[in-house]
Structure 1
Amino acid sequence: MSPSTAANNDTQEERTEIWRGHQEVVNKSLEVLSKARIGYEFCIDSKGPSIIVENEFAKTAYRDIKNRGGYIKLITEITPENIDYCKELMEFLELRHLDKIKGNFGIVDKVIYGGISDVQGGRSPSEYIFSTVTAFVSQNQISLTCSGTRQSLLRRE
């Protein structure tokens, strides 16, 4: 199953893939996001907001999801170092703060998991785990939902 069909076809075989190399990770991630219809919920460490803001392709993909009627929800640790990036992100996504986040993962359309272990040096990741295995996606969806009991919703003032 290609990433482009995963968000659109519930009858596809469940699958897990490892994507390697910055370009493959970026290209396939954008392909998945381009097919998102329901939304994208993700959790990133404090280095992540700057990577998103500085990547026009990612910002366009997130805005396109919203334009298709979907939602974008981000949980991150907001720090003095990333506050300006977070303010910019709030223009097109719902942002929540959670202390001491480690790792980075997200769920697209409630059926696709994507994750990396760490963002190195402010660059996009060079390895990415993609999975449509229902049990795995559900477990990680619960992690996003449970963290909601400890997070703070930020509003643009």
Structure 2
Amino acid sequence: MVKKDKNDNDDKKQKKVVAALLEILSRSKSNVDICADFRAPSVSIEVEPYNKALLVLRSRGLRLRQITEITKDNLSFSKELMMLAEVRHLDGVKGNFMTSEKEYLAPVLLSQKENVTSQIVYSNVKEVVEQQKYLFETLWTKAIPAVQIIQEIEEGIKPGVIDIIRNPIEIQNIFIDLIKSSTKEIMIMIPTTNTVHRQADIGILQLLKKVATDNHINIRILAPLNDYSVEEKIQNVLTCSSQSPLIQVRNIETSSATKSTIMITDRKQSLVTEINDDSKDTFIDALGFATYSNSRSTVLSYVSIFESFWL
């Protein structure tokens, strides 16, 4: 009896998975989306049949998107993968799946070039495919462009954070803490007159005046000033502004402003608070959710929005 070599079995498993992947790739007409863990970049480059299939996709003009986890260890492979696909990074992403226009496939594991499991989940049922497409789009929205994360790794920058906060009390506390911890500059865009009133009621305007005076923080505020009650509420800030150039306030048309309060501190952190119900009297009751970030690209995008209204 001839004993089968483990490497032969692993090779057969690998070929089975790759063959299934290649079949879907060959049938794709417009786009392929792939989500896979940190080992995917090396698999995409080192598994020759799979790599060739990706090259063929690119030559056919299909859109290929891939979500993976980019690390120091797979950096070179990730850069090569970017030549074949649109790549985004997601911390700790688990599982592996692929969708095309009409098909879904999920190898249980794409671990390494020499060891690929033969277990595969496949479906061409419309509802299943659409569900997985929705999952991919959700993850794609949350993922960070590969160029950004690669730059952060190469420059030794701590990866940026983007957090969704749904607890209104926590949002209020973060809002206040960001103002208190600012060291150089604060930019705030206040979208509605009611928002100005609610912020004044919890002491935000007084706090801005205090940090400008005590800590010499440069503050710029965009708010709808065409309402007399708003002008009255914001008068303390304007009074401080007349004594010091540290606080500047300009008008923004309510109709043109985003329906979110945008705050950027020191051009390093941003907090965007969504208004759920502008008719509510209190800051907490009016809130929906908030997005906090210290990601450089995210923060600078909000700086650009603010500056466009400031002009």
Same fold at TM > 0.5: yes
Asked which structure has the greater RCO (Cα within 8 Å, sep 6+), the reply is 1
1:104 to 96, 106, 120: 96
* Paired amino acid for 1:130: Y
Which 5+ residue runs of structure 1 have no aligned equivalent? Answer: 1-19
Asked if residue 28 in structure 1 is aligned to residue 8 in structure 2, the reply is: no
Q: Write the deviation string for residues 66-104 of structure 1: whole angstroms up to 9, x where unpaired.
A: 222211100001111111110111111111001111110
Q: Write the deviation string for residues 30-84 of structure 1: whole angstroms up to 9, x where unpaired.
A: 1221222112101000011111110121111112112222111000011111111
Asked if residue 124 in structure 1 is aligned to residue 101 in structure 2, the reply is: no
In the alignment, what sits opposite 2:132?
140
- Structure 1 CA distance, aligned partners of 2:34 and 2:128? 15
- Structure 2 CA distance, aligned partners of 1:120 and 1:67? 27
Alignment of 1:47-126 (within 5 A): 47-108=39-100, 110-122=101-113, 123-126=115-118
* Paired amino acid for 2:63: Y
- Structure 2 CA distance, aligned partners of 1:124 and 1:52? 13
- Structure 1 CA distance, aligned partners of 2:56 and 2:135? 26
Contact residue 13 and residue 116 of structure 2 kept, 8 A: no
Q: Write the deviation string for residues 92-135 of structure 1: whole angstroms up to 9, x where unpaired.
A: 11110011111100101x21001023234553332111110111
Q: Structure 1 residues 117 and 33, CA, compared in 2 at 3 Å: closer, same or farther?
A: same
In the alignment, what sits opposite 1:37?
29
Contact residue 37 and residue 69 of structure 1 kept, 8 A: no
- Structure 2 CA distance, aligned partners of 1:120 and 1:72? 21
Aligned residue-pair number? 137
Structure-1-length-normalised TM-score: 0.79
Rg larger in structure: 2
Contact residue 17 and residue 107 of structure 2 kept, 8 A: no
Q: Tell me, what secondary structure is at the counterpart of 2:117?
A: coil
* Paired amino acid for 1:140: Q
Structure-2-length-normalised TM-score: 0.41
- Structure 2 CA distance, aligned partners of 1:23 and 1:88? 23
Contact residue 33 and residue 99 of structure 2 kept, 8 A: yes
Asked if residue 154 in structure 1 is aligned to residue 137 in structure 2, the reply is: no
- Structure 2 CA distance, aligned partners of 1:74 and 1:120? 16
User: Please, what is the CA RMSD of the aligned residues?
Assistant: 1.9
* Paired amino acid for 1:45: D
Which 5+ residue runs of structure 2 have no aligned equivalent? Answer: 1-11, 152-311
Contact residue 70 and residue 146 of structure 2 kept, 8 A: no
